[in-house]
Structures are given as structure tokens and as C-alpha cells.
């Protein structure tokens, strides 16, 4: 009996020792701390074309080089248009500046969606008027075509910046992570009604006695305040496009007349900046007037304009069908809100590369 008690005591002691050993922290916790890294996934849409402007397909991760502020990064993955869904937002300017040519813009855009969208792709339709309006929620090609053809041009003011910002925010909220996000705007880029633009003009009036200045000076004051606000809005909206990982394309229906006034020039500059910094293109076709007194000439110009617009949509479609989506994990320690410049290249090839110029570090 004594031996039995002794044996049980030994078993109890050994069990207690085993429990104590189990409760003791192990080196695994340290290992967990060691492998923790502060990294973030960066998404970079890229278009690559040859010397003739034709898209280059078939590239892989090994063909690309990407760096942040000159420091090379390790590419995690390169998705191709065949495997990565497309989410595109089309914005139609319905103000008086574009209404004479709206019908063929409408028809050509609807055809473009039919040609470019696959079953896994989605499109969203907005109008650019006195305020941004969602007329066709994120849907397939058929639904988006119906939304396009339902749009009626108006004589409203133009909230260009608010509309682009609204579309970028919509894509950021609704387009799944890892999709190719594109905004395509048909507009002259002029803004007469965005909230911050109108506020800047009104604030400028409050600083002077408008009853003591003539109309010419009042107009100059309006233009000066609007241009200052436009530069600020350009920066704000561009940041929104960058944060939404969105590529910006635009088609300016003003054609050859865009240089007739300063406001038109600024409008095109707005769209050119958005395109350059996100990896898209701001098209400025030489559209001819179709509202002259010569009906025969209007008909010829209309057909020529339709053909030019069709060529532009085909070019955009070709780019989207051969677009790449580079993804990598950045382990940089740049502070929040810092703009980090990116450089993307395809070494050893005679190629032109368009991609976003950088990204803003998020909190």
C-alpha cells in the first residue's frame, strides 16, 4: 500500500510539472512578433504600348520593374485583362456646352460598352450637370446601355469636379478589391457649379462692394476666384482618384473650339492632369461644328465626328483589353498622407508605359 501511495505521488508530481511546463510561454510568441511586418498592398493599373501605339499583350511579372521614390519593389502579382474584371464609370456632360453632339456621343458610348464589357465586367452611368446624378447603378452591358440611351441633355450648369469625385467615391465603395477601375468622362472639363467653386465665387463677392465696381471688374473678379478654386479642386479630386485606384480617361467634345476662352483651356488642363497622373488619356479630337447654317456641311461634319469618336472608343477599348494590374506589398515607413512617387518600366523593350504616378499613404 505504501508503494502504491508513493507511485501515485510521483505521478501527481510529474503531472503537475507537465502542466507547469505547458503554461510557460514558449519561443513561438517571439517568433510571431518577428514575422509581423507593416505592409500594405499597392495596386497599379498599367497600359503598355509599342512605337505605333498598339497595346502590348502577354507580359508577366518578370517583364516589369516598379520602384517607390527610386527604391525597387518586389512585385507580388501581375493580373491581365483576361483574368481581372473591369469596373468602368461613364460620365456624360449634359450641359449646354456639349448638347449639339450629344446624340452620337450617346450612341457610340452605348456601342463601346457592348463591345468592351464581358459577363464579369460592370459599368456605372452618371450625368454631369448642376450636380452629379447616378442614372445607371453598377450593372452589366445591357443595363448600362439602357441607362445611357435614357439620358436627355439639358441647359444646366456644370458640376464637373463634384461629378468626378462622386464617381471615384462610388467605385471605391462598390467595385470589389482587385478590379480594374476606370472613369471615362465625356465633357469639356469646365466647372460652373461644384460646391467649392460656387462658394469661392460667393466668398469673393463678400470681400468687395459689388455695387461700386463695373461689370467688367466684376467679371474679372469672378474669373479670378473661380480659377483659384479650380486649382484647389484639381488637387483634391486627383487625390480622390488616386485613393480609389482609378484610371481617368476623357473625351472633350469641344473639339477645335476649346481654345476660344480661358475657362475652356483650364477645363482641358484639368482632364489632362487627371489622365497623366492616373495612367489614362485625355483625348481632344478635332470635332467639327454640326450646328451651322449649312445643313449639308453639318451632315458631313456629323459623320466625320462620329467616325473620330468611334476611333477613340476603339483605342480605349483596346487598351482596356490589354491592361495590366500590378500588385505589390510596400514596406516603406512614409508618414500618413505623404504622396509616394512610383516609377514603372518594362526594361529591354521599346515600349511606352502609362501608369499612376504615385499614391497617398493612408492612415
- Look at phi and psi of residue 348 and say left if phi exceeds 0, alpha if psi is from -120 to 50, else beta: left
* 71 has a pLDDT exceeding 80: yes
Confidence of residue 99 (pLDDT cuts 50, 70, 90): low
State whether 345 and 199 are in the same domain: no
In a domain, 10, yes or no: no
Question: What separation, in Å, do the N-terminal and C-terminal C-alpha atoms of the chain show?
Answer: 70
* Distance separating alpha carbons of residues 331 and 61, to the nearest angstrom: 19
Domain count, the chain: 2
3-state secondary structure the chain: CHHHHHHHHHHHHHHHHHHHHHHCCCCHHHHHHHHCCCCEEEEEEEEEECCCCCECCCCCHHHCEEEECCEECCEEEEEECCCCCEEEEEEEECCCCCHHHHHHHHHHHHHHHHHHCCCCCEEEEEEECCCEEEEEEEECHHHHHHHHHCCCCCCCCCCHHHHHHHHHHHHHHHCCCCCEEEEEEECCCCCCCCHHHHHHHHHHHHCCCHHHCCHHHHHHHHHHHHHHHHHHHHHHHHHHHHHCCEEEEEECCCHHHHHHCHHHHHHHHHHHHHHHHHCCCEECCCCCCCCCCCHHHHHHHHHHHHHHHHHHHHHHHHHHHCCEEEEEEECCCCCCCCEEEEEEECCCCCCEEEECCEEECCC
Tell me, yes or no, whether 235 and 347 share the same domain.
Answer: no
Q: Are residues 59 and 129 in the same domain?
A: no
Based on the domain organization, do 190 and 114 belong to the same domain?
A: yes
Same structural domain, 151 and 283 = yes
Tens of pLDDT, residue by residue over 235-259, are 999 999 999 999 999 999 876 665 6
CA–CA dist 195, 205 (Å, integer): 16
Report the C-alpha gap between 306 and 101 in whole angstroms: 9
Judgement on whether residues 139 and 195 belong to the same structural domain of the protein: yes
The lowest-confidence range among 30-44, 56-70, 123-137, 183-197 is 30-44
Residue 6 lies in a domain: no
pLDDT (0 to 100) of residue 200: 86
Say if 9 falls within a structural domain.
no
The pLDDT assigned to 209 comes to 79
70 and 154 together in one domain: no
Min mean pLDDT across 31-35, 135-139, 194-198, 224-228 is at 31-35
Burial class of 275 by CB neighbour count within 10 A (0 to 12, 13 to 18, 19+): buried
Domain check: are 52 and 104 in the same one? no
Question: Rounded to whole angstroms, how far apart are CA atoms 62 and 225?
Answer: 49
Q: Does residue 291 sit in the same domain as residue 275? A: yes
pLDDT at 130: 92
Question: Once rounded to an integer, what is the mean pLDDT over residues 181-188?
Answer: 95
> Is the dihedral angle over the CA atoms 80, 84, 85, 86 positive or is it negative?
negative
Task: Determine, yes or no, domain membership for 209.
Answer: yes
The set of cell numbers assigned to 84 is 481581372
| 278 and 185 in a common domain | yes
Instruction: Flag whether 13 is in a domain.
Output: no
Residue 27 resides in a domain: no
> Do 175 and 116 fall into the same domain?
yes
Q: Is the pLDDT of residue 39 over 70?
A: no
Q: At what angle do helices 102-116 and 295-321 cross, to 10 degrees?
A: 30
In a domain, 306, yes or no: yes
Do 180 and 238 lie in one domain? The reply is yes
CATH number, domain of 213, equals 3.40.50.410
The answer as to whether 149 is a domain residue is yes
Q: Which domain holds residue 161?
A: 86-321
pLDDT value of residue 303: 87
Amino acid at each position: 500500500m505504501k508503494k502504491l501511495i508513493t507511485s501515485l505521488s510521483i505521478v501527481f508530481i510529474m503531472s503537475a510539472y507537465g502542466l507547469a511546463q505547458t503554461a510557460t510561454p514558449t519561443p513561438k510568441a517571439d517568433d510571431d512578433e518577428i514575422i509581423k511586418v507593416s505592409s500594405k498592398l499597392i495596386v497599379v493599373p498599367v497600359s503598355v504600348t509599342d512605337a505605333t501605339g498598339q497595346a502590348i499583350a502577354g507580359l508577366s511579372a518578370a517583364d516589369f520593374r516598379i520602384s517607390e521614390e527610386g527604391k525597387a519593389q518586389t512585385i507580388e502579382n501581375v493580373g491581365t485583362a483576361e483574368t481581372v474584371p473591369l469596373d468602368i464609370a461613364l460620365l456624360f456632360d449634359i450641359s449646354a456646352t456639349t448638347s449639339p453632339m450629344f446624340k452620337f456621343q450617346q450612341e457610340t458610348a452605348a456601342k463601346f460598352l457592348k463591345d468592351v464589357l464581358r459577363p464579369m465586367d460592370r459599368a456605372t452611368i452618371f450625368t454631369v450637370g448642376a450636380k452629379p446624378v447616378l442614372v445607371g447603378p453598377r450593372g452589366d452591358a445591357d443595363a448600362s446601355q439602357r441607362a445611357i440611351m435614357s439620358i436627355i441633355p439639358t441647359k444646366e450648369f456644370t458640376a464637373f469636379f463634384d461629378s468626378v469625385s462622386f464617381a471615384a467615391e462610388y467605385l471605391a465603395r462598390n467595385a470589389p478589391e482587385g478590379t480594374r477601375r476606370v472613369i471615362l468622362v465625356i465633357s469639356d472639363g469646365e466647372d460652373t457649379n461644384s460646391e467649392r467653386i460656387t462658394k469661392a465665387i460667393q466668398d469673393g463677392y463678400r470681400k468687395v462692394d459689388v455695387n461700386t465696381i463695373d461689370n467688367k471688374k466684376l467679371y474679372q473678379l469672378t474669373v479670378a476666384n473661380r480659377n483659384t478654386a479650380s486649382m484647389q479642386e484639381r488637387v483634391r479630386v486627383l487625390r480622390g482618384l488616386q485613393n480609389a485606384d482609378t484610371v481617368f480617361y476623357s473625351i472633350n467634345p469641344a473639339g477645335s473650339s476649346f481654345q476660344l476662352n480661358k475657362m475652356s483651356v483650364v477645363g482641358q488642363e484639368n482632364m489632362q492632369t487627371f489622365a497623366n497622373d492616373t495612367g489614362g488619356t485625355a483625348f481632344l479630337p478635332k470635332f467639327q461644328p454640326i450646328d451651322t447654317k449649312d445643313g449639308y456641311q453639318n451632315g458631313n461634319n456629323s459623320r466625320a465626328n462620329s467616325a473620330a469618336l468611334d476611333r477613340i472608343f476603339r483605342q480605349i477599348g483596346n487598351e482596356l483589353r490589354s491592361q495590366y494590374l500590378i500588385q505589390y506589398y510596400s514596406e516603406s515607413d512614409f508618414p500618413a498622407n505623404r504622396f509616394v512617387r512610383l516609377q514603372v518600366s518594362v526594361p529591354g523593350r521599346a515600349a511606352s508605359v502609362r501608369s499612376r504616378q504615385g499614391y497617398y499613404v493612408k492612415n
